[in-house]
Structure 1
Amino acid sequence: MRWLLAVLLGFWGACASALSSSGSRLLVVLEEDKGLYSNFWADLEARGYDITFESPKNDKLSLFSLGERAFDHLLILPPKSKGLGPALTPKLLLDFVNSEGNILLALSGKSSTASSISSLLLELDIHISPDRSSVVVDHFNYDILSAAEKHDVLLLPRPSPVRAELKPYFSGEGVLAFPRPAGQSLGAASPLLAPIVRAPETAYSYNAKEDAGTVEESFATGSQLALVSTLQARNSARFTVLGSVEALEDKWFSASVQGPKDKKPSKTENREFAKSITAWTFQEIGVLKVGKVEHYLSDKEGNIEGEVNPIIYRIKNDITFNIEISEYDFEKWVPYETPSEDELQLEFTMLSPWHRLNLQPKTRTENSTIYSTTFTSPDQHGIFSFRVNYNRPFLTNIEEKHEVTVRHFAHDEYPRSWKITGGWVWIAGLWSVIGGFLAFVFVWLYSAPSAAAEVKIKKVQ
Structure 2
Amino acid sequence: MNKLISLFILSLLVINVFGKIGGKRVLVLLDEEQVKSTHSDFFDGLTKKGYELDFQKTDSKVQLQKYEDFLYDHLIILSVENDPTLTTNEILAFIDGGNNVIIAGSSIISETIRDVASDCGIEIEEDKTAVYDNFNFDKSQNDHSLLLADGLIKDSPIIVNNVKLPILFRGIGHKIRDNVLNYGILTASATAYSGKQSTKAAGKLQGKRVGLVSSLQARNNARVTFSGSLELLSNENLRNTKVSNKEFVEQLTSWTLQERGILRASDLSIVKVNPTSTDNNSSSTILLTVKDDIQYSLKIEEFQNGQWVPFVGKLQLEIICLDPYIRTFIQGNKQGLYQSTIQLPDVYGVFTFEGTVKVPGYGNLQSLVRHPIRPFRHDSYERFIPSAYPYYAASFSMIIGTFIFSIIFLLHRDSTKPTTSN
1:100 lines up with 2:93 in the alignment: no
**Secondary structure of 1:371's aligned partner:** strand
Residues 182, 217 of structure 2: 8 Å contact kept = yes
Aligned match of 2:16: none
**2:185 matched to which residue of 1?**
196
Task: Name the structure 2 match of 1:241.
Answer: 226
**Compared CA separation, residues 402 and 278, structure 1 to 2 (3 A):** same
Residue 426 of structure 1: how far off its partner (Å): 5.4
User: Residues 284 and 168 (structure 1 numbering): CA distance in 2 closer, same or farther, change over 3 Å?
Assistant: closer
* Alpha-carbon distance between aligned partners in 2 of 1:317 and 1:246, rounded to the nearest angstrom: 62
Which secondary structure state, in structure 2, belongs to the residue aligned with residue 220 of structure 1?
A: strand
**Residue matched to 1:44:** 46
Deviations 1:81-139 (A, max 9, x none): x321x2x2211111111122110001223xx111211122222231011x322111111
1:161-190 CA distances to partner (integer Å, 9 max, x unpaired)? 2x3xx44430214223333222111222x4
Mapping of residues 425-440 of structure 1, within 5 Å: none
Which of 383-392 and 99-108 deviates more? 383-392
Say which of 216, 220, 223 aligns to 2:205: 220
CA distance in 1, matches of 2:44, 2:236: 15
C-alpha distance in 1, partners of 2:177/2:361? 17
2:301 counterpart residue number: 326
Deviations, residues 279-330 of structure 1 (Å, cap 9, x unaligned): 1111000111122222111149xxx995588443111100111122111113
Query: How far apart, CA to CA, are the structure 2 residues paired with 1:411 and 1:42?
Result: 71
The structure-2 alpha-carbon separation of the partners of 1:308 and 1:93, relative to structure 1 and needing over 3 Å to count, comes to farther
Count of aligned pairs between the two proteins: 382
Do the aligned partners of 1:205 and 1:219 also contact (CA within 8 Å) in 2? yes
* Equivalent of residue 174 in structure 1, options 164, 179, 197: 164
Give the alignment of 1:58-457 within 5 angstroms: 58-59=60-61, 61-80=62-81, 82-84=82-84, 86=85, 88-109=86-107, 112-129=108-125, 131-146=126-141, 148=142, 150-157=143-150, 159-161=152-154, 163=155, 166-188=156-178, 190-208=179-197, 210=198, 212=199, 214-215=201-202, 218-255=203-240, 267-299=242-274, 307=282, 310-338=285-313, 343-361=314-332, 364=335, 369-417=336-384, 422=386
Once the two structures are superposed, residues 213-252 of structure 1 have per-residue CA deviations (whole angstroms, 9 ceiling, x without a partner) of 543xx14111212111111122111111112121111111
Structure 2 Cα separation of the partners of residues 187 and 372 of structure 1: 37
Contact 1:176/1:269 (CA < 8 Å) preserved in 2?
Answer: yes
Moved over 4 A (4+): 304-309, 422-434
Amino acid at match of 2:146: V
Task: Name the CA shift for 1:308/1:225 in 2 (closer, same or farther; >3 Å).
Answer: farther
Q: Which amino acid aligns with 1:52?
A: D
Tell me the distance in 2 between the aligned counterparts of 1:135 and 1:213. Answer: 8
**Equivalent-residue separation in structure 2 for 1:307 and 1:201 (angstroms):** 63
1:121 maps to amino acid: A
Instruction: Look up the equivalent residue of 2:94 and give its one-letter code.
Output: F
- Classify 1:244/1:308 alpha carbon distance in 2 versus 1 (closer, same or farther; 3 Å): farther
Contact 1:138 1:154 survives alignment (8 Å):
yes
Q: Determine if contact 2:238/2:245 at 8 Å carries over to the other structure.
A: yes
What SS does the aligned partner of 2:166 have?
strand
Cα contact 1:158–1:170 (8 A) shared by 2 = no
* TM-score computed with the length of structure 2 as normaliser: 0.82
Q: Whose strand proportion is higher, 1 or 2? A: 2
CA contact (8 A) 1:299 1:305 kept: no
Distance 1:308 1:287, change over 3 A: farther
State the 1:431 CA deviation: 12
> Which amino acid in 2 is paired with 1:232?
Q
Percent of matched pairs sharing the same residue: 28
CA distance in 2, matches of 1:409, 1:306: 18
SS of residue matched to 1:118: helix
SS at match of 2:332: strand
Q: Cα offset for 1:199? A: 1.4
CA contact (8 A) 1:29 1:54 kept: yes
Greater CA deviation, 425-434 or 285-294?
425-434
Between the aligned partners of 2:72 and 2:39, the Cα distance in structure 1 is 21
- Whether the aligned pair in 1 keeps the contact of 2:96 and 2:222 (CA below 8 Å) is yes
- The one-letter code of the counterpart of 1:184 is H
Contact 2:129 2:196 in 1 (8 A): yes
Q: Label 1:220 to 1:201 Cα distance change in 2 as closer, same or farther (>3 A).
A: same
Q: CA deviation at 1:350?
A: 0.9
Aligned equivalents of 1:155 and 1:299: distance in 2? 62
Gaps of 5+ in 2: 1-19, 409-422
Contact 1:105-1:241 at 8 Å conserved across structures: yes
- Whether contact under 8 Å (1:156, 1:175) holds in the other structure is no
Counterpart-to-counterpart distance in 2, 1:90 and 1:272: 31
Alpha carbons 1:121, 1:127 under 8 Å: kept:
yes
Determine the C-alpha separation between the residues in 2 that align with 1:432 and 1:309: 40
TM-score, L = length of structure 1: 0.75
